[in-house]
A and B are shown apart, each in its own frame.
Chain A
Amino acid sequence: MSAPAIMPEERLAATLARLILDPAAPPARHIAVGAASPIPAAACWLVKLLGHPVRLSLLHRRGGNPFTEGTRELFDLTGQGRIDLFFLGGGQIDGEANLNLVGTGDWPGTGVRFPGSFGSAFMYFMTPRTILFREEHSPRVLVEKVDNISAPGVSPPGVFRRGTAQALVTGKCVFRFHPDRARFSLESLHPGESVESVREATGFAFDVSDAVPATPDPTEAELGLLRGRVCDEMVETYPEFCARVWGRSRAA
């Protein structure tokens, strides 16, 4: 009997978990995860349940919300440098890791209006590292130049900034970000993708090495945790996601 096929969401969660644990990156002792982020939340639970000591602040859990001083506490903690890692996305992301969460066209988004910047214009500067995550990998999302900058990928010398993007994970690949030259490089390809297919779906130029490896499959241990204890932790906050990916209902 063969094991169930690896779901794309499981591969993405395991990929994010590996980036969280990247020994070359600043340590992730305290990670905050924003609203509507089931795959980053799954990655964080996977890291924790693999036995790594990490504090998770999951902002939209109804029970056990991590903050007792209101939502400003997240930003106060981040301002002090006590949140090590945050996840951001964007309606548009460009080749210099600039994020647009406000909208296309003239300010304030007279083309397609996105919801808004949320805390990105602060978090991106004040967190030692940010993992950019956007499942949709298309030329309308990954653009050469964002129409509006909600949060810049790099800052001039002299502007206080603790960090920037570590990587950009999409439904097709993993890009590594290099702040010294403000460019992405292609780090790995998800199954079924090639350098050419990624190039075709990407509006910005990026660096490519001679041999781009495949994004690794989740290990048996990772899959076991994702389908078991990670799902247990997530089912209250993300019932629809857990039902879709793992066939789990809240009552089970």
Chain B
Amino acid sequence: MHLASADALAALIPDGALVAMPPDNSLPSIAIAKALVRRGAKALRLLGVPVSGFATDILIGAGCVAEVETSAVSLGEAGFAPRFTAALKARRIIVRDATCPAIHTMLQASEKGVPFMPLRGLIGSDILANRPDWKVVPNPFSEHGEDPIVLLPAKQPDFAVFHAAMADQEGNVWLGRRRECATIAHASKAALVTVERVVEGNFLEDERLASGAISATYVTATAVAERGARPAALLDEYGFDQAYVSDYARAAKTEDGFRAWLDREVFATAAKAAAA
């Protein structure tokens, strides 16, 4: 289904939902993150696939988040994520550290509908030591010794949330080579996708577009949000807005600075758009 706005998509996400999002180099829907802040979402559980960035930091700062599972939280060149760090220190959020391929693997298990998948590495890391939900078993196929290996449970998010370049009339979305978004959509119960535009036709009928598309089978709802990944980049359409993120990183060093930033960039801009 095609809805009117990112706010309409955000309204579908109930408090407490497990929401999977890509990081700043991989088509986050900043439009939906800001809409979740405006709707006053609470107790969200965020999954960074496989790491987290700007959207996660503003959602945490706005008090929308109870838990974060991720392999890192960073604003890239602008440094550490200030509201994440403050919330962790104040123990306002639960942080479940993972490592990048573990997050991909848990989602791939869900894609396949199997209860777990194995992953190499991890043994001897405190990441593993702090994950009682991850298990180490002897490789049942080993011909030489015990060969311990980590098993990761399938992870099925309630919602996949990301941005794509375009949707078609059939509800398929297109985002080129950023296939981690496809993995998130395949593994989740629902996918909510903002797009720059809706075009005529059907991507799956076009050999050049089909491989970069995600079938409407997996896409619950779309909405147009122009520049919806901003300040993150969108493929070859627009670049990363370093100045915007650096300005945010400075403002969000303090709670007051963050609140003023939210008023200006999340609440006031929406009020202005509504008035127009």
- Write the residues of chain A forming the contact surface with B, with a CB cutoff of 8 angstroms: 35-36, 60, 62-63, 65, 67-72, 75-76, 79, 101-102, 107-110, 113-126, 148-152, 155-156, 158-160, 240
Contacts and interface: CB of A to CB of B under 8 A. Distances in A.
B89 A113 contact: yes
Given A62-B233, A152-B125, A79 B77 contact: no
4 pairs of A and B residues whose beta carbons are closest in the complex? A116-B72, A70-B179, A70-B180, A75-B101
A120 B95 CA distance: 18
A158 B146 contact: yes
26 contacts: A36-B76, A36-B77, A65-B177, A67-B177, A70-B26, A70-B104, A70-B180, A71-B26, A72-B50, A72-B104, A75-B100, A79-B101, A79-B120, A101-B72, A113-B84, A116-B51, A116-B70, A116-B71, A122-B101, A123-B121, A126-B120, A149-B126, A155-B123, A158-B147, A159-B124, A160-B149
A119 B100 contact: yes
Contacts of B122: 121-122, 125
Contacts of A149: 124-126
Interface string B8-51: 00000000000000000110000000000000000000000011
B88 A102 contact: no
A97 to B, nearest CB: 12
Contact of B126 (A35, A65, A107): A107
A240 B240 CA distance: 14
Given A35-B76, A70-B178, A155-B124, A121 B99 contact: yes
Nearest to B86: A113
A118 B101 contact: no
Majority SS at the chain A contact face: loop
Contacts, number: 139
A125 B119 CA distance: 11
Interface in B91-134: 95, 97-102, 104, 108, 119-128, 130
A148 B126 contact: yes
B154 interface: no
- B interface residue count range (under 10 / 10 to 19 / 20 to 34 / 35 or more): 35 or more
A102 B100 contact: no
B156 to A, nearest CB: 17
Contacts of A65: 177
B160 interface: no
A113 B100 contact: no
B236 A63 contact: yes
B88 A113 contact: yes
A156 B122 CA distance: 13
Contact of A107 (B81, B130, B178): B130
Contact of A115 (B73, B148, B179, B240): B73
**Residue with the greatest number of chain B CB neighbours at <10 A, chosen from A110, A123, A160:** A160
Interface string B236-252: 10011000000000000
B5 interface: no
Nearest to A154: B124
A25 B102 CA distance: 29
Contacts of A119: 50, 71, 99-101
A121 B233 contact: no
Contacts of A68: 177, 179
B5 to A, nearest CB: 28
Given A72-B180, A117-B71, A118-B100, 18 more contacts: A67-B177, A70-B177, A70-B181, A71-B50, A75-B100, A107-B130, A115-B51, A115-B74, A117-B72, A117-B125, A119-B100, A122-B101, A122-B122, A123-B121, A149-B125, A150-B127, A156-B124, A158-B146
**Residue with the greatest number of chain A CB neighbours at <10 A, chosen from B84, B101, B178:** B101
A105 B258 CA distance: 26
B124 A62 contact: no
B164 interface: no
A73 B89 CA distance: 34
A13 to B, nearest CB: 19
Contact of A151 (B51, B73, B125, B180): B125
Interface in B60-87: 70-74, 76-77, 80-81, 84-85
B179 A118 contact: no
A116 B180 CA distance: 20
A101 B147 CA distance: 27
B149 A118 contact: no
B145 interface: yes
B180 A122 contact: no
B124 A160 contact: no
B88 A70 contact: no
A115 B101 contact: no
A121 B128 contact: yes
